[in-house]
């Protein structure tokens, strides 16, 4: 049953000491607000970084050609390293831990692409079938480049969704012919990409076709592969093994980092994950520190309230008030202040995070707060507020009525 008289006394006490109550509540409000805000911002940063990695397989290694910067075995510096089909086959035959392997051949500049009366310009890349897995391409119509395309040097093309839409509109593209430069290709598939529109502005053709038509050699411009379920440590070891193997094959010093540029996406992704794990620890440290500061503030204010109300409490005890009723009155005031301020802090934090969710900037995306975590933190704060008021309440219960009534 609700003790109306007691709650009236609590509200009267709060009204008599408005500034003190506001300052106490502000400390609690700020603690919860900052915890919720930090959690939301941390989540937004983590999602933003993960979004930047969405376009490529996160367990992949990308190898680009460079120019030697160190003389080696009598060979001068300044030699350009080139990849060929033999290098692709070497990786395929000697590294069983590689599960998807592709090369890239870039056609210089944008190519004019024509269909009926439409002529547009797009970038064209020649690839192997496994490129689909490296770039997270998802076939939405037809198929991707396959081994038969390579073997028979077919003039086959896979269009990005943007290319297909611009050239064909709502018309079916698979099976139709497009002219790339002066060469006629048959569209065998259409793909979408998690990287967004920019990644769907490419046209992919078979590696063997590009080498024969545009190069007349077996040159490959870039090599990319994935390491399956290998942990990051094994991916780093695989990177160094590949570097050493290519140093032997192409006669450059293994420590010459400008001869071969290797991007280990798995290592980079792990570094970002570790960074955000540390950020989350920091966020909780600061947030809990703010909450503790608020709880300490509640405890101090309760002590002041007990001191200010010493005569009142003495009179109550002289009139028959039990220690339990004195304790409950002090605790209820502490819980009321803590609970209301904590709830408002949580609501304000969630509201601000909701406003920020519309922001889409680099490395920051869709911040959210786990509602369960926010509510749990608020409940913990309320319980802590009650405990913070317990000591002053016990002190009040021990007040001697005669001495209390003599107090100034």
Position 42 scores a pLDDT of: 75
Whole-structure pTM value? 0.66
Structure tokens at 214: 């545009």
The pLDDT score that the predictor gives to residue 397 is 63
Q: Please give the pLDDT value at position 49.
A: 64
Within 10 angstroms of residue 382's Cβ, the number of other Cβ atoms is 22
Q: State the SS3 of 264-323.
A: EHHHHHHHHHHHHHHHHHHHHHHHHHHHHHHHHHHHHHHHHHHHHCHHHHHHHHHCCCCH
DSSP string, 44-63: HHHHHHHHHTTTS-TTEEEE
Q: Could you count the other beta carbons within 10 Å of the beta carbon of residue 62?
A: 17
**Predicted local confidence at residue 246, as pLDDT:** 95
The predicted structure's pLDDT at residue 14: 67
pLDDT of residue 239: 93
Q: Is 11 helix (H, G, I), strand (E, B) or coil?
A: helix
User: Where are the chain's structural domains?
Assistant: 4-52+270-406, 67-99+227-258, 100-220
- CA torsion sign for 274, 275, 277, 281 is positive
pLDDT tens series, the chain, 408 aa: 456 655 666 666 667 667 777 777 787 788 788 878 877 777 777 676 666 555 556 788 999 999 999 999 888 999 999 999 999 999 999 999 999 999 999 998 889 999 988 999 999 999 999 999 888 889 999 999 999 999 999 999 999 999 999 999 999 999 999 999 889 999 999 999 877 788 899 999 999 999 999 988 999 999 999 988 888 889 999 999 999 999 999 999 999 999 999 989 888 777 777 777 787 787 778 777 777 776 777 677 666 666 666 666 666 666 666 667 766 777 777 777 778 888 888 888 888 887 777 666 665 667 777 777 777 777 777 777 677 666 766 666 666 665 555 555
Write the CA distances from 385 to 88, 109, 328, 331, 388, integer angstroms: 66, 66, 13, 8, 5
Q: What is the DSSP string of 228-252?
A: TT--HHHHHHHHHHHHHHHHHHHT-
- Cα(131)–Cα(210) distance, integer angstroms: 15
Question: Both tokens of residue 296?
Answer: 């300490």
Q: What does the pLDDT read at residue 305?
A: 65
């Amino acid at each position: 049953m609700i003790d109306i008289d007691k709650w009236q006394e609590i509200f009267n006490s709060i009204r008599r000491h408005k500034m003190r109550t506001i300052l106490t509540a502000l400390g609690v409000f700020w603690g919860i607000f900052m915890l919720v805000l930090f959690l939301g911002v941390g989540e937004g940063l983590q999602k933003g970084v993960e979004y930047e990695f969405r376009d490529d397989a996160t367990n992949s290694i990308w190898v680009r050609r460079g120019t030697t910067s160190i003389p080696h075995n009598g060979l001068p510096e300044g030699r350009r390293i080139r990849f060929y089909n033999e290098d692709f086959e070497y990786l395929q035959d000697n590294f069983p831990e590689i599960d998807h392997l592709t090369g890239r051949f870039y056609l210089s500049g944008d190519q004019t692409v024509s269909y009926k009366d439409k002529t547009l310009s797009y970038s064209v890349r020649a690839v192997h079938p496994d490129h689909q897995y490296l770039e997270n391409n998802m076939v939405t119509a037809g198929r991707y480049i396959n081994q038969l395309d390579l073997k028979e040097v077919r003039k086959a093309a896979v269009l990005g969704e943007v290319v297909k839409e611009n050239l064909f509109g709502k018309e079916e593209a698979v099976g139709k012919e497009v002219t790339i430069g002066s060469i006629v290709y048959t569209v065998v598939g259409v793909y979408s990409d998690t990287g967004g529109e920019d990644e769907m502005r490419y046209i992919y053709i078979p590696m063997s076709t590009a080498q024969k038509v545009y190069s007349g050699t077996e040159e490959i411009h870039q090599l990319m592969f994935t390491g399956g379920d290998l942990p990051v440590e094994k991916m780093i070891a695989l990177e160094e093994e590949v570097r050493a193997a290519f140093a032997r094959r192409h006669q450059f010093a293994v420590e010459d980092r400008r001869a071969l540029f290797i991007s280990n996406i798995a290592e980079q992704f792990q570094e970002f994950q570790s960074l955000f794990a540390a950020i989350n620890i920091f966020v909780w440290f600061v947030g809990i520190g703010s909450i503790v500061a608020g709880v300490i503030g509640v405890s101090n204010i309760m002590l002041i309230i007990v001191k200010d109300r010493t005569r009142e409490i003495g009179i109550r005890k002289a009139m028959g008030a039990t220690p339990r009723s004195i304790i409950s009155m002090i605790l209820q005031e502490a819980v009321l202040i803590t609970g209301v301020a904590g709830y408002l802090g949580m609501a304000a934090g969630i509201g601000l995070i909701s406003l920020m969710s519309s922001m889409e900037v680099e490395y920051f995306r869709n911040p959210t707060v786990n509602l369960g975590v926010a509510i749990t933190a608020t409940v913990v704060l309320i319980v802590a507020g009650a405990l913070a008021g317990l000591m002053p309440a016990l002190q009040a219960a021990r007040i001697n009525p005669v001495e209390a009534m003599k107090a100034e």
